[in-house]
Amino acid sequence: MTSTEKFIEAREVRLGRLLSNVSEAYKVPPFQRPYAWDKNQWEDLLEDLISLKEGEVHFLGSIVVIPETKHKLGINYFQIVDGQQRLATLLILLAVLRDLAKEIGMNKVSDHINSTLLFASDWETTVPKLQLGELDQETFEYIIKGRIEDVNKDTLLYKCYDFFYSRIRKIFKNNLKDGIKNAL
């Protein structure tokens, strides 16, 4: 092997572990397509997640990332080669869980989702855990920051948020607190 050859390392990582490193964030490269998932994919994902029994894990498929630079102090960025749609959808779902938790007074849970799973930070900066392409970034950032009132309601990203928000409230209407706890 020459010094220019590189190996790709594949690892199985749970979503919580992927997102919980507060010094890591992900970027969608400019050549990737805009957010395109719709109600069919959202329904499939939610059904898969809700049907899990205790101790079971849902296989999300691969999320392929490439580091932008060698690991350094501060926020380390990774380019997403595959998995942007899934990761964006899951972060929106986490934003919904955060917002619902806050609504019912689960402030510690809401704060934990925000500070650990939705944002990356260092001693100076806090950024959303994921940066989408130019067409989607503003709407996505509003959702992740909890600024739903500023979101363009015609976008797929908002429709995704609204779908999960409505469905989770409906499914767990009598026990939203336990539904949120079990989801995390």
Lowest mean pLDDT across 75-79, 86-90, 95-99, 180-184: 180-184
What H or E segment, with its residue span, contains residue 77? strand 76-82
Retrieve residue 85's tokens: 């749609």
Reading the block at residue 46, the tokens are: 């939610």
**What integer is the mean pLDDT of 69-86?**
85
**Residue 52, pLDDT above cutoff 50:** yes
**Is a pLDDT exceeding 80 seen at residue 84?**
yes
**How much is the pTM?**
0.88
Query: Residue range 45-72: average pLDDT?
Result: 77
- Is the Cα dihedral 119, 26, 88, 14 positive or negative? negative
In order of 92, 93, 96, 168, 176, the CA distances from 115 in angstroms are 15, 15, 15, 22, 22
Q: What is the pLDDT of residue 1?
A: 46
pLDDT, residue 119, reads 94
pLDDT, tens only, 111-129: 999 999 999 998 888 999 9
Condensed to tens digits (0 to 9), the pLDDT of residues 149-168 reads 999 999 999 999 999 999 99
